[in-house]
Amino acid sequence: MRAAWDALRRRPGRSLLTALGVGLASGLVVLLLALSAGVQTSATTLAYASGVDLLATSATGNNSSVLNGVPPPIPHAHNLTTEIPAVDPNAVVASPWLVGDLVLGNGSLWNASNSSSVPPGWTYTGTGVVGWIPDELSGLETPTLYNGTGFTAAGDPHYADGTFTGPQTHEIVLDQSLAGVLHVRVGQGVWASPAAPPSDAALPAWYARATEFTVVGISSAFWLIPSAQLAFVYLSELQQLIGGANGSTDYATFVLIHLRDPTDPAADQARIAAGFRDLSVYTLANILGEIQHVVNVYRTFGTLIGAIGLVVATLFATTVLQMSVDDRSRELALLRAIGHRRADVGTTVVEEGLLLGLLGLAFGLPIAYGGAVALNRYLLRLASGLPAGFSFVSFQPSVIATGVVAVLAVSLIASTVPAVRAMQLPVAEELRAP
C-alpha cells in the first residue's frame, strides 16, 4: 500500500483530478438515489400519518390506477357517509371530497371594477377548491386552522336530506398562501365562480354572477392536494357552483375512509368493493405502490445517468492508471527482478486504484450531501404546501452503501487492464532501457 501511496503523491495534480472525477460520478449516483429514497420515505410517512386507510374513486371509465389523472365523478356522494359504514362496520368515517377549480376575486377588485379603475396588475385568482363535510373528517388529518372559527354549521346544511334546498352558509376557509394572494382576512368577503371574466371590462358582470363567500378561517397549507393555494367550502356549495348539486348526481371526486382497526385493510377493501360495484377501492399499500412505480421510472432514468457517469469515471481512471504504469515501468520491472511475484506487482496497481477510489469517495460524499441539501431547499420552495418534516432527499444507509460499492467497482474495474499490463512488463527490456 505504501508503494501505491507514493505513486499517487509523485503526481498529485493528476491523482487529485482523477479522484475528483470518480467522486463526482459517485456523488451523482448517491444524490439520485437519495432523491428517490426521500420522496418514497416522505410519501410513506405522510400517508400513514394522514388517517386515510382506504380511498374510493369511481369505477367507471379508464380508472385502473389511482394516479390515473382526475377520476370520473362519484354520484350520490352524501349517501356514502352512512352507506359505507353500514356495509363495513369497521369504517368509522367515509368522507366524500369534491376537488374543483374556481376563480376568486376579492373586495378591492370588486370596488375597483365598479369604479372602472382597475389598477395594472390587479386581477382575479384561479385556484383549487375542496368541498367536504366538516363533520365527516374525524380521524383524518386536515389543515390546521390558524385564524377564525372555521365552519360553523353542523353537517352540510344546503344538502338538506338530498333536496339541495337548504340554506347556504357561504363560508370559506383559505390557506395562508391563498389568503396572502387575495389580501383578505377573516371576516372579509371573496367572490367565486367556475369561469373567469373575459376582460377587465367584464368584471362588474362577473361579480354580479359570482357567489360571495365570507372568510371564516385561515389555515395551514394542505399537502394531500397537490396545490400551493387551496380554499375549502361545504361539499354541497361547491357542487352548486360546478354543477353537481342535484339528487341524481351529488358528485364527489373521491371518498376517504378511516378504519376503526386498520390492521387488515385488504379485508375492508374487499367488503366495500363488493358492496359498491361502482367504486374502485384502494388501500394505502395500493396507493404507495403506484407512487413507488412512478418513483421507479425516475430512478431508472437517474440510474442510467449515474451509470454513464460511472463508465466515464472508469475510463478516466483506467487511462490515468495506465499512464502511471508506463511512468513506473522501470520501477515495476526492478521489483520483479529482485524477487517480487507478478501478483505482487499487479496488487500494487490495484491498491493505487483503490486509493484513488477512496479519495474520490472523500470528495463525492460531501459533494452529494451538499448538493442534496441545496436541491431539497430549492424543491421545498418550489413545491409550497408541503408539511413540516417533508424531505425530498434521504441519506439512508443503503444509499451510502451503494455509493461505496460504486466507487469500489470503479476502482477495481479501472485497475484491471493496468494491473495486467504491469504483470506482463518485460523485465530485461525495461531494465536495459535508457
**Is pLDDT above 70 for 70?**
no
Indicate the pLDDT class of residue 233, thresholds 50, 70 and 90: very high
Residues 35, 112, single domain; the answer is no
Q: Is residue 342 part of a domain?
A: yes
Helix 77-87 to helix 265-275 angle, to the nearest 10 degrees?
120
In the prediction, which pLDDT does 91 show?
94
**Is pLDDT above 90 for 88?**
yes
* DSSP letter for each residue of 112-142: HHHTT-PPTT---EEEEEEEE-GGG-TTS--
Residue 432 burial by Cβ neighbours in a 10 Å radius (0-12, 13-18, 19+): exposed
Could you say which of 212, 227, 247 is where a domain stops? 247
Q: What is the mean pLDDT of residues 326-354?
A: 74
Residues 310, 384, single domain; the answer is yes
Q: Is residue 236 part of a domain?
A: yes
Could you say which of 180, 213, 247 is where a domain stops? 247
User: Which residues, 6 or more positions from 71, have their beta carbon under 8 angstroms from its beta carbon?
Assistant: 57, 58, 61, 63, 253, 254, 280
Q: What angle do CA 138, 141, 145 make, to 5 degrees?
A: 95
Of the chain, the percentage scoring pLDDT greater than 70 comes to 86
Residues 19, 114, single domain; the answer is no
For cell 438515489, the residue is: 33
* DSSP letter for each residue of 344-356: HHHHHHHHHHHHH
Residues 141, 208, single domain; the answer is yes
Which residues face 96 on adjacent strands?
255
**Is pLDDT above 60 for 7?**
no
pTM score, two decimals? 0.72
Residues 348, 416, single domain; the answer is yes
Q: Is residue 268 part of a domain?
A: no
In the prediction, which pLDDT does 370 show?
87
Residues 363, 417, single domain; the answer is yes
Could you list the beta-strand ranges (E) of 210-284: 211-219, 230-234, 254-259, 279-283
In the prediction, which pLDDT does 428 show?
61
Q: Is residue 381 part of a domain?
A: yes
Residues 132, 223, single domain; the answer is yes
Q: Is residue 52 part of a domain?
A: no
Q: Is residue 353 part of a domain?
A: yes
Residues 241, 297, single domain; the answer is no
Residues 399, 339, single domain; the answer is yes
Q: Is residue 175 part of a domain?
A: yes
Range of the domain at 146: 99-247
Residues 242, 296, single domain; the answer is no
In the prediction, which pLDDT does 141 show?
87
Could you say which of 217, 232, 247 is where a domain stops? 247
pLDDT: which is higher, 324 or 159: 159
For cell 378591492, the residue is: 108
Q: Tally the domains of the chain.
A: 2
Residues 387, 311, single domain; the answer is yes
**Nearest CA-CA partner of 53 in 32, 26, 84:** 84
- Residue 389 DSSP one-character state: T
pLDDT: which is higher, 59 or 137: 137
**What are the tens digits of pLDDT across the range 380-396?**
777 666 666 678 888 88
Residue 358 burial by Cβ neighbours in a 10 Å radius (0-12, 13-18, 19+): middle
In the prediction, which pLDDT does 28 show?
81
**What are the tens digits of pLDDT across the range 260-304?**
999 999 999 999 999 999 899 998 888 777 666 666 676 677 777
Q: Is residue 79 part of a domain?
A: no
Residues 215, 159, single domain; the answer is yes
**Is pLDDT above 60 for 222?**
yes
How, if at all, do strands 230-234 and 125-132 pair? parallel
**What are the tens digits of pLDDT across the range 108-139?**
888 888 877 878 878 888 999 999 999 999 99
User: Which residues, 6 or more positions from 82, have their beta carbon under 8 angstroms from its beta carbon?
Assistant: none
